[in-house]
Amino acid sequence: MGDAGDGTMNRPPRFAVSSSAVRDGIAIVAGPELHHIRDVMRLRAGAAVTMLDETGVEYCGHIRGFEQERVLIDVRSSARRGRDYSLILAAAIIKGPRMDLMVEKAAELGATELLPLMCARGQIRNPGVERVARWRRLALAAAKQSLAPRPMEVAAPVTFEDAIAAATRGRLGIICSPGAPALAPILGETRARDLIILCGPEGGFDPNEAALAARAGFRPAGLGPNRLRSETAAIAALSIAAAAFEEIAQGA
């Protein structure tokens, strides 16, 4: 949250770093993050910073100094941060900035993994490696901004059958379905901490996909009376799941 009373306003600014750029107690930051540190935040030598790498390790340190195309940071401590839950979003691939928005908000809301889903009624089958790489950059940037314990993993696009297979024993599978029982009571009843949510394209999942999910034990769940766009449905489902996880963590 952005509430100044939660202590986040007193934290050092947080940046992204590659795990391969941290060696012998020194982190080397270049590219867009150098621009952010030097030109946007206007930090100088001695400033305290934190950094998050793609594996979920957070580093704390101070800026040693700037070189022409990089900044050197003395790392004082590091720790691998984790979550006590698993929240997988398997969402139909949608067009352009709407998918970018979904990726960013999924990461902010605490999804641990995104499975870009190729399904029967989806408009996009193969987004290409460059677009998937962009989603991974967005997920890392969102983790940095939202103070998430680690970046959301973004998988290569998967088929509907592959997504179904991700619902291993002990993991609650949810398929978003208009008119189905509301999601929040289902999560309150099951107290699940290991969850996969299927969100379809604009036309929804086709009957064969719905039947396959039912045979695999997925429970249909609704997100309210209104017809939602794909990215809105994914964000709504994750918001409900995040609230349920918080209630469980607080012992409610």
Q: Which residues pair with 74 in a beta bridge?
A: 26, 62
Answer left, alpha or beta for residue 248, where phi above 0 means left and psi between -120 and 50 means alpha.
alpha
Residues 78-115 have pLDDT tens digits of 887 766 678 999 999 998 899 999 999 999 999 999 99
Q: Are 113 and 153 in contact (CB under 8 A)?
A: yes
Q: How far is CA 159 from CA 90, 93, 95, 167, 250, in A?
A: 10, 11, 17, 14, 36
Average pLDDT value over all residues in the chain: 88
Residue 9's pLDDT is what? 52
Cα radius of gyration rounded to whole Å, the chain: 20
SS3 at position 33: helix
Paired tokens of 51: 């950094």
Domain spanning 4-80: CATH superfamily? Hypothetical PUA domain-like; domain 1 (2.40.240.20)
Residue 84's pLDDT is what? 66
Fold of 86-249: Alpha/beta knot (3.40.1280)
pTM of the model: 0.78
Q: Domain limits of the chain? A: 4-80, 86-249
Q: DSSP string spanning 141-203?
A: HHHHHHT-SSPPEEPPPEEHHHHHHT--TTPEEEEE-TTSPBHHHHHHHH--SEEEEEE--TT
Per the listing, tokens 């939202």 go with 146
Mean pLDDT of the region 147-171: 87
d(CA 87, CA 193): 8
Residues 13-61 have pLDDT tens digits of 888 888 899 999 999 999 888 988 999 989 999 999 998 887 778 899 9
Q: How far is CA 197 from CA 86, 153, 238, in A?
A: 11, 15, 8
Q: How confident is the model at residue 3 (pLDDT cuts 50, 70, 90)?
A: very low
